[in-house]
Every structure is written in structure tokens, then in C-alpha cells.
Amino acid sequence: MSGTQEFLFDLSDTGGVDYTDESTNIDARTLDEMRELMAAYPQPRSALIPMLHLVQSVDGRVSSVGVRVCAELLGISAAAVVGVATFYTMFKRKAAGQHHIGVCRTALCAVMGGDILMERVSEKLGIKDGETSPDGKFSLEAIECNAACDFAPVMMVNWEFFDNMTPDKVEKLLDDLRVGNRVQSPRGAQLTSWREAERVIAGFSDGRADEGPGAGEASLAGVQAARVNNWRAPDAKSMTGAAQ
């Protein structure tokens, strides 16, 4: 092989926490709630992830003040907090929109139309992957497999599933969200906002966890087939014997 192969990287948008922006909505109530989360674990440090979700619920992102507060309360370095905040993609360093749209583009969703859905959402909202609309109403993210491949192609809004999506369904969904119509996830709760969803993920229930069906038809197809055919799981003891 002749010549040198050159790989180009574009990491310009990986973004750390913005320390130039000191704005925050964290108040005494937020601090009390953070302490409440810390008290729920044998090791307070285990509360860091829910605490960061709580920061996002009030600040719309992992704010610099949020990082500092988490570090001080937990007695760890700001670098340790940022290490977690920048590892998990659910943590945003730029403000997410009122509604955060995720489009799955992993293999199965992609071949079932995920790429086309992403294009349609992007065109309609005028934003690309990783961007937030200027009015703060929507943000968009290409997401990896949601473990909902039986409903491909799948989208998420504020972390709630939208199954078997089509470009027409996308149009209606975004129109409804834009004008504030009631929108129900086919397998989850009625949509509120991304920040409210973040508060629930932090551990503060809004009483809607049981809204919607527990599982969709496609996920239950195997169970139905087993019932019809009278299939049974092998006896655990016989399996242990087989392994020996």
C-alpha cells in the first residue's frame, strides 16, 4: 500500500460544560432536594446521576453552577462531576428545548426509515442533530438503539417512545407539540416537557408512571405464541444439570 492514510476528526461539537455561563435557577428548594437524593443511598456519591438530572430539570442543561453545587454537596471534585456529565449522552451541556426530540438511527431503525425521519424532523424544525431551535421550543438528537427495535423506526420525545413512525406521523406530532395539543406516547405518559421529564428521572414522581400500556403488542408476541403453543420454559434444575 502506498502513501499515508489520513483520518480526519471533527470533535468541535463534543463540548464541555460552559463555565462562562453562570446563570442558574438552582435555589434552596433544589438544594434540599439534592440532599434528599443523597440521603436515599448508602454512599451519597451514588446520587450524582439523579442530582445531575435534577440540575437539568431546573437549568435545562448541566450548568456550571450545577456542577459546582453537586461537587460541594458530595465532597468530590468538579472534574469528577464533569466526568460523569460528559460521559452519558442524556446529560446536555447546551440547553435542550422545551421538547427534546430523539430519532433512532441505529441499524434496524435506519433501514426501516430512521434516516428519512431524521431528515424530515430536521427540515421541519430547521435544526440539525445537536441543535436547539432559536425559540427554545425544540432540540434534536440522533440517538442510538432504544432497545425498542420491535417498533422500528422509533422516535422519542422527552424520553417517551413513539413507535412505528412515518414521515406523516412526524408531521402531526411536531405540529401538535408546536401548538400545545395534548400528545400521548403510545407506550407511556402524556407528554409534559423535557425539564419535567428530567425531574421525574431524578426521582420526583409526577404520578404518571403507570399511564399507558406496560408493553406493546410487538413485545408480547413471543409470550402470545408460547401461550397458544403451550410452550414452557425448561425447568431450572434440568438446565443446571445440563450445564454440569
Contact code string over 88-107 relative to ligand FES, x by CB under 6 A: ----------------x-xx
Question: How is residue 23 written as a grid cell?
Answer: 446563570
> Shortest distance, CB of residue 147 to ligand FES, whole angstroms?
6
Q: Does residue 154 touch ligand FES according to CB under 6 A?
A: yes
User: With contact defined as beta carbons under 8 Å apart, do 81 and 45 qualify?
Assistant: no
Q: Does residue 145 touch ligand FES according to CB under 6 A?
A: yes
Site size toward ligand FES, by CB under 6 A: 11
DSSP state of 47: G
Whose grid coordinates read 407539540? Answer: 177
User: With contact defined as beta carbons under 8 Å apart, do 109 and 153 qualify?
Assistant: yes
**Closest to 102 measured CA to CA, from 84, 87, 89:** 89
Nearer to ligand FES, 146 or 193 (CB): 146
Q: Does residue 185 touch ligand FES according to CB under 6 A?
A: no
Q: Which amino acid is at 134?
A: P
**Closest to 177 measured CA to CA, from 163, 193, 154, 155:** 193
Stretch of residues binding ligand FES (CB under 6 A), selected from 146-154, 160-168, 201-209, 218-226: 146-154
What is the Cα gyration radius of the chain? Answer: 21
Query: Rounded to 10 degrees, what is the CA torsion of 118, 124, 130, 131?
Result: 180
Q: Does residue 218 touch ligand FES according to CB under 6 A?
A: no
Stretch of residues binding ligand FES (CB under 6 A), selected from 130-138, 149-157, 161-169, 210-218: 149-157
Contact code string over 104-123 relative to ligand FES, x by CB under 6 A: x-xxxx--------------
Q: Does residue 80 touch ligand FES according to CB under 6 A?
A: no
DSSP state of 41: S
What is the binding site for ligand FES (CB under 6 A)?
A: 104, 106-109, 145-146, 148-149, 152, 154
